[in-house]
Amino acid sequence: MRRPDPLPQRPRVEAPVEPVIDPVEVIADEPVAIEDALSDEGELSVPEADAFSDFASVDEIDTAVITPLRRGRGEASGGASEDPIVAASQQAGSTDDGAPDADAEPDGATAVGWRDVWRAARAKRKALRREVRRFTGRARRRRLVWIVSLSALAAVIVGSFVVAYSPLFAVQKITIAGTTSLDPAAVTDALSDQIGTPLALVSDSAIKAALVTFPAVETYTVQARPPHELVVTIVERTPVGVVQTDAGYSLVDAAGVVLSTTPEPPAGYPAFEVAGGLGERTFLSAGMVMLSIPASIRTSVVKVTATTPADVTLTLAPTGTQIIWGNADDSQIKAATLEKAMLARPIDTVSVYDVSSPTAIVMR
């Protein structure tokens, strides 16, 4: 298929460019004398030039913004500006008569004066100072806590050193308390090596080694009373009877500890005749029975016999009345039952009190 020929183009006719005449230049080229221009009424009249015949008044000329269509090569390197070209008679932000336009919007941000800059700088400095004060105050508080803690620790260490090693708190007086049969002077003399020792450095092992030489001492406590006193409180053993040995007559407590040995039996203590030796179960059972009976009855006991831990028997003076105790179990109940039975029937009317069964006492 054949392509149709294009339609003939209508030739373009360029309109002739008419020269633009600047009315200001026309006025400047043809000056008019002021005297000739004054009219009879005293008003200034300007003659009309022929050049103004085809043009309107200058104030009535319409203006428009002209924007370049293409940037030239010279403009890319800092040549002409991209700002639109505005007629000289109408500037941005002004009216036709040159007065500022009150309704015109400011181009860009609001203007900032030097006072605003100064206020902003002062506010920044104040904020910085507040932050510095807050930080330094917190640091000072932390530092103060550390200083106080370290000072307290140092004071404790120094105080402990002074108390431990200073002669200002050395032992100068030893007081013995709680003794009945022991001689306090003898005990004080045994502890004399502690004189001059700081209270904090008094050795418990040294005191124990000194008191172990006294068999009557069962327990003891040591108390330091600053600045110079050392108090030793002693609990003595309670003697319960006399055991005859090859060395003589030994005074013993309920645990079988020999308190003293004499050639003659000590007065006021019953004789123990038990099977086995000291510290055996039979002796321990008899010793517990002697500690359980009331003191009013204990002073009347002259002999304690036992062949086993379950057949402890007590003999009372002066009648020779026997108390069949049995074992050491329920000794407190047996003692209370025995007291009631003796009140009901005195020892001079009874030969045997059998309290081996505390709920069913037998008297004969």
Instruction: Write down the pLDDT at residue 27.
Output: 42
The reported pLDDT for the residue numbered 2 is 54
* β-bridge pairing 229-236 and 258-262: unpaired
Output the pLDDT for position 82.
45
For tokens 């050795």, the residue is 203
Q: Are 315 and 303 in contact (CB under 8 A)?
A: yes
Residue 220 sits at φ, ψ, to 5 deg, of -155, 160
pLDDT value at residue 238: 92
Tens of pLDDT, residue by residue, the chain (364 residues)? 455 555 555 555 455 555 544 444 444 444 444 444 444 444 444 444 444 444 444 444 445 444 444 444 444 444 444 444 444 444 444 444 544 454 444 454 566 788 888 888 888 888 888 887 777 877 778 888 888 889 999 988 887 777 677 788 899 999 999 999 899 999 999 999 999 998 888 999 999 999 999 999 999 999 999 889 999 999 999 999 999 988 899 999 999 999 999 999 999 999 999 998 888 999 999 999 999 998 889 999 999 999 999 999 999 999 999 999 999 999 999 999 999 999 999 999 999 999 999 888 899 8
Q: Which residues have a Cβ under 8 Å from the Cβ of 35 and sit 6 or more positions away?
A: none
Q: What is the pLDDT of residue 175?
A: 96
Give the model's pLDDT for residue 126: 85
What pLDDT does residue 10 have?
57
Tokens of 189: 């003399």
Q: What's the chain look like in SS3? A: CCCCCCCCCCCCCCCCCCCCCCHHHHHHHCCCCHHHHECCCCCECCCCCHHHCCCCCHHHCCCCCECCCCCCHHHHCCCCCCCCECCCCCCCCECCCCCECCCCCCCCCCCCCHHHHHHHHHHHHHHHHHHHHHHHHHHHHHHHHHHHHHHHHHHHHHHHHHHHHCHHHECCEEEEECCCCCCHHHHHHHCHHHCCCEHHHCCHHHHHHHHCCCCCEEEEEEEEECCCEEEEEEEECCEEEEEEECCEEEEEECCCCEEEEECCCCCCCCEEEECCCCCCHHHHHHHHHHHHCCHHHHCCEEEEEECCCCCEEEEECCCCCEEEEECCCCHHHHHHHHHHHHHHCCHHHCCEEECCCCCCCEEC
- Quick one: pLDDT at residue 19? 54
The backbone torsions φ and ψ at residue 38, rounded to the nearest 5 degrees and listed phi first, read -75, 130
Task: Read off the pLDDT of residues 7-52 as tens digits, 9 standing for 90 and up.
Answer: 555 555 455 555 544 444 444 444 444 444 444 444 444 444 444 4
pLDDT score for 3: 54
Give residue-wise pLDDT tens across range 151-193. 999 988 887 777 677 788 899 999 999 999 899 999 999 999 9
Give Cα 364 to chain centroid, integer Å.
Answer: 75
